[in-house]
Structure formats: structure tokens, C-alpha cells
Structure 1
Amino acid sequence: MGSTSVNRRDVMKRATAAGLLAVPAVGALSSCATGGGDDKKSEEGKKSAKNPLGVKEDAALQVYIFNGGYDDKYAQFVTDMYKKRYPDAKVDQKATEKIATQVQPRLVKGDPPDMVNNSGEDVMNIGKLVKNKQAADYEALLDAPSWDDPKVKVRDVLVPGTVEMGTFGTKGCYQLNIAMTVYGNWYSQKMLDETLEVEYPKTWDDMIAVCKKAKSKGIHGWTYPGGHPRYMLFSMYAMFAQVGGRKVLEAMDYLEPNAWKHDAIKSVFEAFEELVAKKYVLGGFDGKEAHIEAQTAWTKGSAVFIPDGSWVENEAKDTTPKDFRMTVGATPSLDKSDVMPFGTLYAPPGEPFMLPADAQNLRGGMEWLRMMYSKEAARNFFKEVSSIPAVKGAIDGMDLPPGVDSSQKAIKAAGDNIVIPFFKEWYTELFEQDFNGVMGKFMLGDMTVKQAMDTMQKACDRIAKDPDIDKIKKS
């Protein structure tokens, strides 16, 4: 990846509520540099107004989709669009939960699929793929005419933050997301209104009071997937920002000394430690489908809150009562000394796609994603998975289910106070391995606040000192 001049503050300014929900009056997004993989071996056709990327019309296309919370029906819609546009091409879509297991060996062999939905627990480290020149640059796609309007480039139909999330320094954009993911404390509005007769807690004292009342009725205040304890970051991250401000988040992103030992980090860990100590947390759920097990317990009324992302509305639809009124809440303020206000939200573009550098049909892969960014495909994506697409204005005027509606309202309420953990993209192991391991012990009461902070800082220092890992530097 190398050093980068990505300015995190600029990304945050651009990823405002107005920009996420409508066409914003902001400057152009950061451009992606020329480069990426060598596409000389890839199939190439004749460029035209109808075929601006020069797709070879009879070239085979293979797409790998992560079969998780969104399953793969939304992708099949795009694959069918591709088949209709290029009827002479053999088009194959594969759905799997094991992206890295199935795709990584093919990248090494130089015989990869043409487009990969690089998501899920078995995700490939995009930073390493970039460093190893296994991922292609999206510049040609971003500068191509959009599907719906040839006068508008693809990059200009994407919500702010989408390009920046996949940009690695001056080397280019190697990953593009298709959804807006809203993280936070998910709950049933019906339970709060009718069972507990309380309002959503805006302070941590209120949160403890709600949990106490829930316990008196035989309901746990919280639950989480014990098999994937890293989900706790979905609730804790925005709280880190609220308590200590953006400087705390920047310290994490840039692997600064003592980044994980800030007083704000300590305060947030202590708040969640109180939930554990008072036995307000429903634990367990450590099997292969831990997240499904925890979500099912939650939708069936065993717990009030669960840390999750906006995919949960689709993923838990089979067990969610019709009158559940699924809602996302921002993390409560700790106290009056908080730097950022209640409503601060962790809401980045999500569900990434990468283009293998050695793809035989590189242009076809880009064309498939160009179709994905059409309003038709974006609206279908919303209908299939109840999640906000990364295409500006795609769902304007549509009827929204409760979870999506609450996500939209949370984004509007957050305004400029939207935060994104870039360290999750830049140094995947910090989240997938180290934070996961720490929270696994912490949420069981087997690790103290100090031990959790020390362990995370050691992990941060380990990566900072590793000469084999390229670092992202401040501009």
C-alpha cells in the first residue's frame, strides 16, 4: 500500500448526512491513480457509446458473491442484466461464505474470477492484495459513463466516502462498496414502548436504568454473538469518538503510540464492563452461526439491544415479528464532558467488491459493477436486502421498512458527526483477530479494562513495527 496522502478529515467532511442521502453540493471525490494490475492478457472488445469500457461481447464472466446477510439474489439481478446485454457470453455466478478460502488460491495461480464480493468472516486482506499487485485499479470504471446517464461519470453517482474507502495512497482505488451500512445499538421499538415503557437511552446512566428495568422483567439488556465478539465495536466505536473526539479515532487509524490507552477508550471499556458485571448481557452463541443465534434470541425478545449493522433487518427477517419495529439507536453519551454529541454515528459505505488484476475478463468485471451502480439495480438491492444502496438518490420516494427508515433518520440526525474506522480496512487483523480476541475475553469478564487496552496497544505496536506491513501515514 505504501504511504498515502489521504486526508481523513476531508473524508469525514464529505461523508455528511446530506451527501449520504442526496446529491451533495461538494467537490469531486479523490481520483484514483492510473495503475493497478496488468490487464494486457484480459479480453478486450470495441469501445462504443453502448460499450464504453470495451467489453468483449462473447467473453466469459465469473462473479463470486459472499453468501451472507445479503445472500446473492441482489447480485443475480445484475448478472441477469449482464446476460441480457451480452447474450453471447457465458456468465457464471458463484455464492460462498468462504471467499478467501476459494478465491485466494486462484489469485496466487493467476486464474481468478472476474469480480469478487470480498466480504464476510473469511475475507481477503485488501491491503495485502494491493501490495502484492493482485487487485486492479478501478480508475477506468470510475471515469466511465454511468449506466443511467452517459453525461455523468460512475464516480459521481456514488455517495461520498465510497471511493475514499477503497483508495490506498497515490496508487489508486482498489475496492468499491455497494451499500451504506449503519452500525449501532439495534432494538425493538415495540419492546421499548410497550414492554418496558421507556424511551431510547441517550446517556449511559439511562442505558443502565433501562437494562435494570429489563432485568426485573426477565429480559437481558444486551446480547452479542459470542463466536464473533468483534461485533461489540459496532456499538463502542462511535462512543470512543463521542467521549474523546476524532483525535482518538485518528490515533487508532495511524497506529500512534498509546492510541488504545487514551482516557476515552478507558471510559468506554469501563461502561461496557458495567454491563458485564451487572449480568445484563446474554452470552453464549459461540457456534458456527453465532450471529444468527444471537439475533434470533434478540428478535424473540430475550434481550433489548444488540450491536449490529443494517444488514440485520434482512438477515433476521425470518424470525422478526411483524410488529417488532426494528430500529437502530446511536450510542449513548457517557457524560456532559463528551467531545462529540449524542447521535454521532458509525456509518461507512460497506459490502466491498474487488477486481482481480489477473482477471481474464477485466472489462467485463468492471461492466458488471457499472450495472450494479445503476438505479435499477440499486433499487432492486434495496428491495432484496432492506439496505441503503451506495447510489445517490436511488431509493428516494420508496416505502422504507422500519430498519432502513430508522437508518436514514440516524444518518440525518448525525449530520457531520459520522465516523469511519479506517484501521479496519488498512490493517484488517487488528479488527478480525486482535480486537476479536480481546472482546471474546472481555465480554465474559475474563479480561480487565487495563488488560484489554494493553493487549490492543501491543497489537497496534506490533503492526507499526512490522517491516513487512506497509503503513498508511498522515498527510
Structure 2
Amino acid sequence: MRHKKWLTTVAASVMALSVLAGCGSNNSGESNGSAATGSNGAANGGKQFDNMELNVAVFQGGYGREYWDTIAADFMKDYPGTKINITASPKIAELVRPKIVAGNPPDFMYIAGSDNTPILAGLIKDKALLDLSDVFNAPAEEGGAPLKDKIIPGVLESRSSSPYGDGKVFLAPYNFGVMGLWYNKTMLDDKGIAVPKTWDEFIALNATAKENGRALFTYQGLYPGYLEEMIVPSIYNVGGQEALDQFYNYDPEFWKSDTFKQVWGVLGKIASEDNALMKGTIALNHTQAQTAFMQGKAMFIPNGTWFEDEMKDAPREEGFQFGFLGAPAFQADQPAVAMTLIEQMVIPAKAKNPELAKEFLKYLYSDKSVKLNAEKSKGVLAVKGAADQAKEFISESTYNVYKAVDNGMTTVNGAFKSVAKGSKYNPNDEVFKPISSIMNKQMTIDEYSDKLYKIYTDIQQELKDNGAAE
């Protein structure tokens, strides 16, 4: 599943930040790499480390694990004598949490997936991550420009990488995804149905959807965080960066604002209008909802650029083609907006082998690794030109989404500011989980607003008590 933790907001009309991340695989396991005995040490001049063994933990989702196994093998060849042990699982947090609590974390972690990312929030809150600034300030190649110059502009400066706002990098960017609403392009083209440019046009398509034997909309019901992909762009569309700052920085007044009323009003219409929400949506996991959409049971669904590869083997209606529209605007003269997201890699502060972990991290940004990542995972690394390097390995429709952003599609991203240490609140859960109660009509939007107003007030008080309020 997609990764969902951001720690600041940025909006741009260039290829900016940040998927989620791919979604679930049911396989997990460990791979113990053998120390390479060859003489291919040209990349590092036979560099030696006090500890030549590295323990790596990675999320195994829609991107799979083949890239990690392959890049680890390549690293061991280029760094003779090293040994990399890889643990991969869709539920990687469950595997590493006991080790972190015991003070014996993996040396390197790639954490993604909605069920796993709270552990990252905890590490940030506890200031338990290693400062990686020196990795990005060092030359990417011998005598060359610093590694930070290869990263997509704005990423390292944002709180997605620099969570404390002090310019120090604690979270290294991995794959980035573009997110919004998807549809069956073949179906819309064949029926002469125009892609909705506004939310009013979107809601008006409910009748058309019914005529074509499907609901208007579905989403990954057990994981309502996917709705972020339409909510966040819509907040920006209505209220701009100021409204996003309110939302992500816990201003209680956001929940009484006109921006909130307009954006959540769309959800209210989907919940209340007959046929708008596909029946049974609330109880579906991500693969079930996505399969139902591809089988023609709903016209639209939120997801990211990993969608097509993740569901490559899923059944679908005849002629199905992926189409992407971002999030519709509220006014006809406003552009559609897409959300972007970057997955993150970290080195725990208590890692036993931080120096080798840093060397491995730097290796992941090599041109060879960027292309290998595209080949094996169908992912696009958050480095300049990665989409073009990945072109031969990703579908034309997915490539076109990346290039649309590259060529000026308005994008937005953000994440919640860190809560106070010891806080009882997980902002993502507090905001998104209750939306299920709105969609199944157990909670009104006004009740939801009152609930979140109180929670934001409490979080602000916690930050003030901890001396962390801005």
C-alpha cells in the first residue's frame, strides 16, 4: 500500500515532490547475501569498513523486492567482502518494531505502506534517526557535484526529508508517485464521455455511470487514507497554500472554514447520492476495490502511478485502459491538481553499522541503480530525469502521467507536522479513519468537524506544553 507520511507542504507546477508506493504482496522473507569474492572493486577502490555486514529491512509491496535483492548483490560485487542481509515484508513494521524497542534496529530501512509508516512518525518524534546530510552534501561521483544536486528540486528541503525544519536531512527520498483519480479511458472514449474538469461535472456523471451499469466512485474502503489523493489537491484548489498550512499544522479553525465545507462537501455528496458510492466499498481492501473498479463496477477510483503495475494480473473489463485525471477543480477556469508523494529510506540513530549504511544509501542513487529500480520495480526514483530512464520499463500511460507533471501539471503535497513526543494522536488516523463513518452515514460532516476541531486543539496544546508550537 501507499506510503502516507509527509511533514510539510509544497505546491508547484513543475515536477515537484513525491508512491505510496505500491500496494500489498503476501510474500515476505529474508535474503542473506553472500560476501562477494570477486575483484570488482573499482567503484570504491577496495574500500573497507570496520563492520562489513549490513542488515537491511524493506517494505515489500507493489514494487516487490527483486530490486533490493539485485542491488544488494551488485553492491557486494562492487564492495568485495561486504555482506547484506535483506528482510522484506508487507508488514515490515511488525518485524522491526521489537528490534527498535530493544535498541537493536536494522542498519537501513525502507518503510512504506499505510500500516507501516506510523513507525517512521515515532522515530521522527523520538529523534531516533541518523542525520544523513553528509551523504547528500558529498559528491555523487569522484570529483563531481554533490549528490543533492541529483535529487528533484525541493525534496530535500521539505519536511518529508528535513522533518525538523532545520535543513538537516533525516529521511532519504526513494520512489515518487503521482496520485489522483483514475478511470477506464477506453470506456469514456467509446461512450463519448468527457473527463470531468470540475467536481460538479464529476457528480453529474453519476447518472451516466448508472446508465453504464456501474457506480460513480469507489475507494480502498479499509484504508480511507487513499482519499487524501483527492482531498489534499482539493484543499489547495479552494484555499491555496494557506489552507494546506492550516490543515497540516493543526489550526483548529480549518475545520470551520469554507475550504473544509467545500472539500468535504464532495464526500458528503458521494455518500448521500444513490449509486454514487459503489455498494460494499467500506468493507473492501485495496486490491478488492481496485479489482472491482477494473471490472467496470465503478467509474472512478483514487490511486497512484504504481497502480497499473500493481494490478497487472488483475481481471478487468474488455479493452480496459488506465486513464488519469488528477483531482477536478471547483471552478471551470481552475486547473486539475495532482498530489505527489515520495517514499523514504532511513538509517536509525542506533544502527550498528551506520557508515556502511550510508555508503549503501549513496549507491542507490547511482545511474545504474536508478535504471535497475525502474526495470525491477517499475518505480521512478526521486532524481532528475528518472522518468525518462524508466520509460522503457513502465507503461506508456504511466510515463505520460509523469511527463504531464514534468511539463507543468499543477502538483501539491504535504504531511502533518510532527506531534509532540508522547502524544496520543496519530494525525493521519484522526483525520482519515472517521471518513468511513461519513461514507456509511454513521457520522455527519458537522459531527466530524466538531471532532477534528477538538483534536486539533488538543494537539496544539500538547505542542505548546512541549515548547514545540510554532
Q: Does 1:97 align with 2:90?
A: yes
- Counterpart CA distance in 2 for 1:8 and 1:356 is 21
What is residue 259 of structure 2 aligned with on the other side?
Answer: 264
Deviation at 1:335, TM superposition (A): 2.8
Deviation at 1:169, TM superposition (A): 2.3
**Residue correspondence of structure 1 range 361-376 to structure 2 within 5 A:** 361-376=353-368
Gaps of at least 5 residues in structure 1 are 1-6, 22-47
- 3-state SS of the aligned residue for 2:343? strand
- Counterpart CA distance in 2 for 1:351 and 1:232 is 18
For normalisation by structure 2, the TM-score amounts to: 0.83
**Residue correspondence of structure 1 range 464-475 to structure 2 within 5 A:** 464-467=460-463
CA offsets 1:3-54 (integer angstroms, 9 cap, x no match): xxxx968x54xx5415679xxxxxxxxxxxxxxxxxxxxxxxxxx9954997
Deviation at 1:406, TM superposition (A): 3.4
What is residue 118 of structure 1 aligned with on the other side?
Answer: 111
1:332 partner letter = P
- Counterpart CA distance in 2 for 1:359 and 1:217 is 56
What is residue 228 of structure 1 aligned with on the other side?
Answer: 223
Instruction: Report the identity percentage.
Output: 27
Deviation at 1:390, TM superposition (A): 0.7
- Counterpart CA distance in 2 for 1:53 and 1:114 is 21
**Residue correspondence of structure 1 range 196-345 to structure 2 within 5 A:** 196-278=191-273, 279-284=275-280, 290-319=285-314, 323-335=319-331, 341-345=334-338
What is residue 448 of structure 2 aligned with on the other side?
Answer: 452
**Residue correspondence of structure 1 range 11-160 to structure 2 within 5 A:** 11-12=10-11, 16-17=13-14, 50-51=43-44, 56=49, 59-120=52-113, 121-146=115-140, 150-160=143-153
Counterpart contact for 2:183–2:324, Cα < 8 Å: yes
Counterpart contact for 1:184–1:330, Cα < 8 Å: yes
Aligned pair in 2 of structure 1 residues 435, 323: CA closer, same or farther (>3 Å)? same
- Counterpart CA distance in 2 for 1:471 and 1:185 is 40
What is residue 411 of structure 1 aligned with on the other side?
Answer: 405
- Counterpart CA distance in 2 for 1:366 and 1:242 is 39
Counterpart contact for 1:438–1:452, Cα < 8 Å: yes
What is residue 34 of structure 1 aligned with on the other side?
Answer: none
Moved more, 391-400 or 89-98: 391-400
2:330 partner letter = L
- Counterpart CA distance in 2 for 1:353 and 1:102 is 16
- 3-state SS of the aligned residue for 2:387? coil
What is residue 188 of structure 1 aligned with on the other side?
Answer: 184
- Counterpart CA distance in 2 for 1:378 and 1:184 is 25
1:386 partner letter = K
Deviation at 1:220, TM superposition (A): 1.1
Aligned pair in 2 of structure 1 residues 386, 191: CA closer, same or farther (>3 Å)? farther
Deviation at 1:285, TM superposition (A): 5.2
- 3-state SS of the aligned residue for 2:267? helix
- Counterpart CA distance in 2 for 1:248 and 1:127 is 23
What is residue 394 of structure 1 aligned with on the other side?
Answer: 386
2:362 partner letter = R
CA offsets 1:313-334 (integer angstroms, 9 cap, x no match): 2221111659432122121122
Q: How many residues align?
A: 431
Deviation at 1:99, TM superposition (A): 2.7
- Counterpart CA distance in 2 for 1:72 and 1:115 is 15
Aligned pair in 2 of structure 1 residues 20, 96: CA closer, same or farther (>3 Å)? closer
- 3-state SS of the aligned residue for 2:213? coil
Counterpart contact for 2:430–2:452, Cα < 8 Å: yes
What is residue 179 of structure 1 aligned with on the other side?
Answer: 175
Aligned pair in 2 of structure 1 residues 19, 219: CA closer, same or farther (>3 Å)? closer
Aligned pair in 2 of structure 1 residues 215, 426: CA closer, same or farther (>3 Å)? farther
What is residue 378 of structure 1 aligned with on the other side?
Answer: 370
- Counterpart CA distance in 2 for 1:128 and 1:53 is 37
- 3-state SS of the aligned residue for 1:129? helix
2:55 partner letter = Q
- 3-state SS of the aligned residue for 2:428? helix
1:116 partner letter = M
Gaps of at least 5 residues in structure 2 are 1-6, 19-40
- Counterpart CA distance in 1 for 2:339 and 2:363 is 28
1:222 partner letter = F
CA offsets 1:188-242 (integer angstroms, 9 cap, x no match): 2112112x42121001222122222011121111111211112111112101111
Aligned pair in 2 of structure 1 residues 210, 459: CA closer, same or farther (>3 Å)? same
Counterpart contact for 2:209–2:216, Cα < 8 Å: yes
Aligned-residue RMSD, C-alpha: 3.0
CA offsets 1:350-401 (integer angstroms, 9 cap, x no match): 1111111111111221222212212222122223333322111133263441
CA offsets 1:242-285 (integer angstroms, 9 cap, x no match): 11221110111221231222111111111221122113111435
Counterpart contact for 1:326–1:402, Cα < 8 Å: no
Aligned pair in 2 of structure 1 residues 86, 51: CA closer, same or farther (>3 Å)? closer
What is residue 40 of structure 1 aligned with on the other side?
Answer: none
For normalisation by structure 1, the TM-score amounts to: 0.82
Counterpart contact for 2:255–2:453, Cα < 8 Å: yes
Counterpart contact for 2:282–2:436, Cα < 8 Å: no
Counterpart contact for 1:53–1:144, Cα < 8 Å: no
Counterpart contact for 1:203–1:332, Cα < 8 Å: yes
Counterpart contact for 1:223–1:294, Cα < 8 Å: yes
1:135 partner letter = L
- 3-state SS of the aligned residue for 1:347? strand
2:361 partner letter = L
